[in-house]
Copies of this chain bind each other. A is one copy, B any other.
Amino acid sequence: MTTLAEDAKELLTLGTATLYEASGLDCFLDPAFRPAWDGAQLVGRAVPVTAQIGDNLALHHGIEAAGAGDVLVVDAGGAPFGYWGEVMAVAAQARGITGLVIDGGVRDTQQLASLEFPAFSTAISIRGTIKNWPGTVGRPITLRGRVIRRGDVVVADRDGIVVFPADEYDRVLAASRARAAKEESYLDRLRSGETTLDVYEFRHLGVPDEAR
């Protein structure tokens, strides 16, 4: 985990698009997840949580179960309730939790921005929640059909979110660095006037359909 924290800045510079492409894995989450404030981004280890619709008790247990470098990844069924806000963000930061990904809504987005607590959600909503079902914490879940296991690497930025197994980390990081280096060399050629068709050697794939 130390490594991941140390690498956080580099991972965010590489970005989710590069990590995803270099990984060779179907590791991107649904694009419905969006940052709750402009500039939010995060790196951490997943702590999967399942919550009932309109009920955030499970998230409180999630905060307790998570620690430094963890990210809560929550399936709350997608409904626009305000499952998370300032109080929970303060509590989470006190434990070193680095962020939140939730299929549901968050609120206090201005305060989350001030706290620099990154949250990615499918809604922003003030609608209140009950505290009834303690949910599941730590067990594997699926989030819009993607499997999330405890300890998975989570990286999120304004382009999207990737989640992949921890034992793929070294490979994905190396592949991402290689891809970024290669792209950098491409960029030089492109800036000097070469076309992407030549740089990527796409010409043999055919020419546009003149019949259209």
> A-side interface residues toward B, CB under 8 Å?
15-17, 20-21, 28, 30-31, 34, 38, 50-54, 57-58, 60-61, 63-65, 75-80, 82, 85-88, 90-91, 94, 104-105, 107-111, 123-128, 131-147, 157-160, 162, 183, 186-187, 190-193, 195-197, 199-200, 202, 205-212
Contacts and interface: CB of A to CB of B under 8 A. Distances in A.
B126 A136 contact: no
A87 B107 CA distance: 33
Given A17-B85, A109-B159, A208-B136, A195 B51 contact: no
B190 A75 contact: no
A183 to B, nearest CB: 6
B191 A94 contact: yes
B197 A61 contact: yes
A186 to B, nearest CB: 6
Nearest to A80: B31
B126 A28 contact: yes
Given A31-B123, A60-B202, A109-B158, A190 B87 contact: yes
Contacts of A146: 52-53, 77
A57 B200 CA distance: 11
Contacts of A123: 31
A164 B116 CA distance: 31
B64 A197 contact: yes
Contacts of A132: 205
A196 B60 contact: yes
Contacts of A124: 31, 34, 158-160
A32 to B, nearest CB: 9
21 contacts: A15-B111, A28-B125, A52-B147, A53-B145, A58-B208, A63-B196, A75-B142, A77-B142, A79-B144, A82-B159, A86-B183, A87-B187, A94-B190, A104-B145, A107-B160, A108-B159, A125-B159, A126-B159, A126-B162, A133-B209, A137-B208
